Amino acid sequence: MSRFSRLGNDLYTGRRSIDFVGRRRLWYSISGLILVLSLLGLQVRGLDMGIEFVGGSEYKVSLPADQVTQQTADDVRAAVAGTGIPNAAAPVVTTSGNEAVLVQTQPLTPQETTEVIDAILATTGATNDDISTSEIGPSWGKQVAQRSLIGLSVFLVLVVLLIWGYFREWKMSVAAIVALAHDVLITIGIYAWTGFEVTPATVTGLLTILGFSLYDTVVVFDKVRENTKNLRRSHQTYAEAANLAVNQTLVRSINTSIVALIPVGAILYVSVVQLGSGALKDLALALFVGMAAGAYSSIFIATPLLAQLKSRESEIKLSDKRARTRQRHDADRYASVPVFTEDMPIAEEPGAAPAAQAAPVAPVAPGRPQPTLGSGRVAPPPRSEVRQSPSSGRAQPTRQSRAKRGKK
């Protein structure tokens, strides 16, 4: 645990960094492959819609309280599936309080209904008076689906407006919506490949995972906004600041996802292995897949997509160019010093004051005295050897005030 804490601290401070934004093509490829498999599952296998959506038959068997148990439900499920009827191959058997057992199948013919009733009565020991049959039409399921689509549309519109109003950035709204669509499509694809029945509980689970995915994405975006508030001072490009934000929230996202997935996974295991079927299984699968996909999309999809959209802005391009120039200068301060070559022009020492240029000297005829440089006069030739002057021992004038002259 201490190593994990140190890793989280290193990721937050930037001493360690995982390049999520720079490798966005890899993450896009992985997500694209998963989405293709999900769409392929919808095309090949399709969704197994529950009787609430397509209609079906429901059988209610009244039994004593001591017989209304999960064992009885499992026995009834096996007996109905053993009849060999295609529409009754995967019945939904649940207990209704302490009074009855409910059996739901797809629409059956009268002869098939008789076979199913006989299998139920033989298994439970009940009589014809203890069982009731009812037909469920698809109208209620259609109303649920229609209202769910309306709720989903309103939710997406409110999400776009909320993120745009909070972050003042419509590109964040686009990235968040893409991440939500990514999570929903993956969850639907998993349902198609696993053959789990789609019930109103499944719709509830889908709506729930939208909120979870959005919550995780907004947390990462808030850190991105904090890191990119003043790019001049941080000397980072927008992509680098966004990648740092993902690393800083990575441990938090992992911890939150694990804490949420453990109880949902336990519910999924119990509902599939022990209970066998029911609304609890449908809800748990949607939550488990959606939460895992939401944690993935907020890190690998939403933030890299946001950085890609922002990189097309002219202001961000200029800021990134300044940051790269600054980084090259900080990495090697002498990288801009030119390399010496023989044909380079002679210049002054870098940093030295420019020297005064001497006036050009005119050519002098042979035998004439040479002029002194910079004086503009001609120095006369010496007549004799230079000796020490007799006045060298005299007192030389000094720069003193008149009151102090001649005083010792």
Give residue-wise pLDDT tens across range 161-185.
877 777 777 888 888 888 888 888 8
Q: Point out the domain boundary residue: 86, 105, 136.
A: 136
Token pair for 86 = 């295609």
Alpha-carbon distance of 75 to 58, in angstroms, equals: 17
- More confident: 184 or 160: 184
Token pair for 171 = 């590109």
H or E element: which one contains 62? strand 56-62
Number of domains in the chain: 2
Place 69 in a pLDDT band, splitting at 50, 70 and 90. confident
Which positions ≥6 away from 148 have C-beta within 8 Å? 203, 206, 207
Q: At 105, is the secondary structure helix, strand, or coil?
A: strand
Q: Point out the domain boundary residue: 325, 341, 366.
A: 325
Alpha-carbon distance of 71 to 63, in angstroms, equals: 13
pLDDT exceeds cutoff 70 at 36: yes
Alpha-carbon distance of 262 to 266, in angstroms, equals: 6
Token pair for 299 = 């890190």
**Eight-class DSSP state of 20:** T
The reply to whether 73 and 206 lie within a common domain is no
The reply to whether 204 and 92 lie within a common domain is no
- In this predicted model, what pLDDT tens digit does every residue of 238-266 receive, in sequence order? 888 888 888 888 888 888 888 888 888 88
pLDDT (mean) for 312-339: 71
Percent of the chain topping pLDDT 90: 2
The CATH number of residue 44's host domain is 1.20.1640.10
Place 326 in a pLDDT band, splitting at 50, 70 and 90. confident
pLDDT exceeds cutoff 60 at 42: yes
Closest CA to 213 of 181, 245, 248: 181
H or E element: which one contains 85? none
pLDDT of residue 33: 92
- More confident: 57 or 365: 57
pLDDT of residue 188: 87
210 within a domain of the structure (yes/no): yes
The reply to whether 38 and 85 lie within a common domain is no
The sign one gets for the Cα dihedral 353, 359, 363, 368 is negative
Are 131 and 120 within 8 A, CB to CB? yes
The reply to whether 148 and 98 lie within a common domain is no
The reply to whether 321 and 175 lie within a common domain is yes
Closest CA to 86 of 116, 120, 126, 131: 116
Place 138 in a pLDDT band, splitting at 50, 70 and 90. low
Closest CA to 277 of 70, 64, 126, 52: 70
Residue ranges in 125-169 assigned as alpha helix (H): 139-167
pLDDT averaged over every residue in the chain: 76
pLDDT (mean) for 134-157: 73
Token pair for 71 = 């064992």
Q: How crowded is residue 56: how many other Cβ atoms within 10 Å of its Cβ? A: 24
Domain that holds residue 76: 56-136
pLDDT (mean) for 191-196: 81
Are 56 and 47 within 8 A, CB to CB? no
60 within a domain of the structure (yes/no): yes
- 95: β partners: 101
- More confident: 327 or 268: 268
Token pair for 4 = 């994990």
Q: Point out the domain boundary residue: 75, 102, 136.
A: 136
pLDDT exceeds cutoff 60 at 358: no
130 within a domain of the structure (yes/no): yes
Alpha-carbon distance of 327 to 319, in angstroms, equals: 12
pLDDT of residue 370: 57
Composition of the chain by helix, strand, coil, percent to 5: 60, 5, 30
The CATH number of residue 119's host domain is 3.30.70.3400
Are 31 and 189 within 8 A, CB to CB? no
Q: Structure pTM?
A: 0.64
